[in-house]
Structure formats: C-alpha cells, structure tokens
C-alpha cells in the first residue's frame, strides 16, 4: 500500500491542472481573431476642444492589443491613409529606389468594434491655484469623471451585429484633481490614462473588452486552404493567429444560406470533408498533413467541435 504525503498530493494535483491547461491551449482556446476599431461617435451633450471619440478609440485599441487575444489592425482612419499611400505609389508619381508599397497585402478584419458614447462628464474643474503642463491641469480639489457608452461587435463579412454591451466608468479622485484642458487628448495614451477622464474611459473599456473576450467562444474561428501539394496542406493561419504544432482542424466546404429576397446571410455551416494536423508553423501560414478525407484548395478550416 502506497501512502502519499500532503505535499505529494498537491504536486500531483498541480501537475494534472497544468497538463489540462496545456491541452486546452492546444485545443484552440488561445486562437486569435483579427479585429479593427471603428470610430466611436460622441452622442453625449459634451462638446469640448478635444475629440472624445479619438481618445476612446486609442485606449480601446491599446487595451485590445494588451489582451494577447486579438490581431489588432489599425483604426479605420489609419487603414484609409495606408490605402491612399498605396494608390499614390501605384500612380507612378512616387520616387523609385526604395521599397515599393504593394497593394493587396493588408490583413482583413474578422471582427469590427464600434459604438456610441452616450454620456460624458470630464470633471476637470481642477480647483483654484491649479497649474498646467503638457495639456494637463493639476488642481487642489477633487473631481468626478463619468462616461457611458454602447459597444457593438460586428461580423465584418456580413455586417451583422453579433453582440452589444453597455459600459460605464466613473472615477473620483479627492485631494488632487488631474484633468484635461486646452488641447486635451493628443495621442498620449499613457498620459491620458493618468487623468480622471482617462481612468473612467479605461474602466468602461475594460468592461467592454472583458465582454468581447467572453463572446469569442460563440464566434466561429476560420481560415482557408491556400495550397495543396500531395499530402501537404498550406493554410493562411499561423503563430500570429495562435496556431500551434500538432493542432488539428476540420476542413470542408462552407455552405451559406441566404435570404432569396434580400441576399442577407441567414446561416453558415461547414460540410466537413476531412481533417488536417499541423506539422510546421510560421508567422502567417501553417503547413499541415492530411489526417483523413479529400482536401482541396479554397476549402475552409475550423476548430473541431
């Protein structure tokens, strides 16, 4: 009869939990989705000298990037500027000799986040005797910053709202009020987060980001077969999207059901044709081997149920 000490039981228990966590990651729980932040509209009664929507978008982009769960693409205005630069390069008006800007290289977004700011109170009075520097004002009295917003998660392929969330942030800092004045937000995210306004915005955004992550389990993660050579299958997903060596995927034809009157996508389901297993992973692609079935170029890959 073998008798285990409490320490041994603890080590065994911890090892089992650790192995279970590793298996969960390998099963695809850490897959990443490409996402883009659209401009948030300021529908509150507040009209200041700085753009509230720009500040919200910058903090949201930063927060999404820090989760490690998303491939965060440039905000819509950044992508438009990139497209304009590509068009300029293609016009033959740009000087040669350097690395040429190429069209058709931009990463498409699977998800889009946008929304409306419905209420905002910056609470930036700051009190008498305050001093200002770099767009910020420090005073001796406390202030309360408050913000309400609605966030929407949208499928970029269909334009359908997949989920929505009302978020709220309120911060009161007593004794020392840090607020924004004059030019206000100017792209300094870390500095903005130190203000009452920035903390309230970050609090509301954290609620939205947590909600978005909680919805990922119900949002299909897909990719495509881009090449088939013998028993090798190349897919357009790699370490950037969280693909790992040894991982398996279902492969098949995506069947789309559309409303005959409007053309709206009503449902999508995968008719599974086979399975593949990842043998080598690069940044943006993975090389797999066929486990079973007949796999063809253009087929859709998805996580096994």
- For the entire predicted model, the pTM comes to 0.69
CATH homologous superfamily of 33-89+107-217 equals: ABC-type transport auxiliary lipoprotein component (3.40.50.10610)
pLDDT at 19: 39
* Cα dist from 304 to 26, 29, 248, 250, whole Å: 12, 12, 7, 5
Q: What is the 3-state secondary structure (H, E, C) of 50-85?
A: CCHHHHHHHHHHHHHHHHCCEEECCCHHHHHHHHHH
> Where do the structural domains in the chain lie, given as residue ranges?
33-89+107-217, 221-302
CATH topology for 221-302 is Thrombin, subunit H (2.40.10)
pLDDT tens series, the chain, 305 aa? 455 555 554 444 444 333 333 333 333 457 999 999 988 999 998 887 778 898 899 899 999 999 999 999 865 555 454 445 555 555 666 555 555 555 444 467 889 999 999 999 987 544 443 334 344 444 434 578 899 999 999 988 778 888 999 999 998 875 444 444 444 555 567 777 777 888 899 999 999 999 999 998 888 899 999 999 999 999 999 999 999 999 999 999 988 788 888 777 777 788 999 999 999 999 999 999 999 999 999 999 999 98
Closest among 248, 300, 234 to 272, alpha carbons compared:
300
Contact in structure between 71 and 34 (CB atoms under 8 Å): yes
Q: In 3-state terms, what secondary structure has residue 189?
A: helix
Contact in structure between 55 and 147 (CB atoms under 8 Å): no
Burial class (CB in 10 A: 0-12, 13-18, 19+), 109: buried
Which tokens sit at 33? Answer: 């989705």
């Amino acid at each position: 009869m073998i008798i285990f000490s409490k320490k041994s039981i603890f080590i065994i228990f911890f090892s089992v939990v650790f192995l279970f966590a590793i298996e969960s990651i390998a099963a695809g729980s850490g897959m990443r989705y490409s996402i883009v932040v659209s401009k948030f509209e300021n529908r509150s009664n507040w009209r200041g000298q700085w753009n509230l929507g720009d500040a919200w978008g910058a903090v949201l982009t930063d927060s999404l990037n820090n989760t490690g769960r998303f491939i965060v693409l440039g905000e819509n205005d950044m992508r438009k500027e990139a497209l304009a630069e590509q068009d300029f390069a293609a016009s033959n008006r740009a000087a040669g000799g350097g690395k040429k800007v190429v069209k058709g290289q931009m990463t498409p977004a699977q998800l889009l986040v946008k929304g409306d700011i419905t209420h905002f109170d910056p609470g930036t009075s700051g009190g008498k005797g305050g001093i200002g520097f770099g767009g910020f004002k420090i005073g001796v009295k406390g202030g309360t910053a408050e913000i309400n917003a609605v966030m929407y998660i949208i499928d970029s392929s269909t334009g359908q709202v997949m989920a929505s969330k009302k978020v709220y942030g309120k911060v009161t800092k007593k004794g020392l009020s840090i607020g924004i004045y004059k030019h206000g937000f100017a792209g300094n995210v870390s500095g903005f987060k130190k203000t009452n306004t920035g903390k309230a915005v970050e609090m509301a955004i954290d609620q939205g980001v947590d909600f978005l992550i909680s919805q990922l389990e119900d949002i299909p993660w897909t990719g495509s077969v881009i090449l088939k050579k013998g028993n090798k299958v190349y897919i357009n997903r790699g370490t950037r999207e969280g693909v790992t060596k040894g991982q398996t995927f279902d492969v098949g034809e995506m069947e789309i059901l559309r409303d005959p009157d409007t053309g709206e996508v009503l449902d999508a389901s995968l008719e599974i044709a086979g399975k593949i297993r990842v043998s080598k992973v690069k940044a943006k692609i993975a090389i797999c081997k066929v486990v079973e079935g007949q796999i063809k170029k253009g087929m859709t890959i998805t996580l096994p149920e």
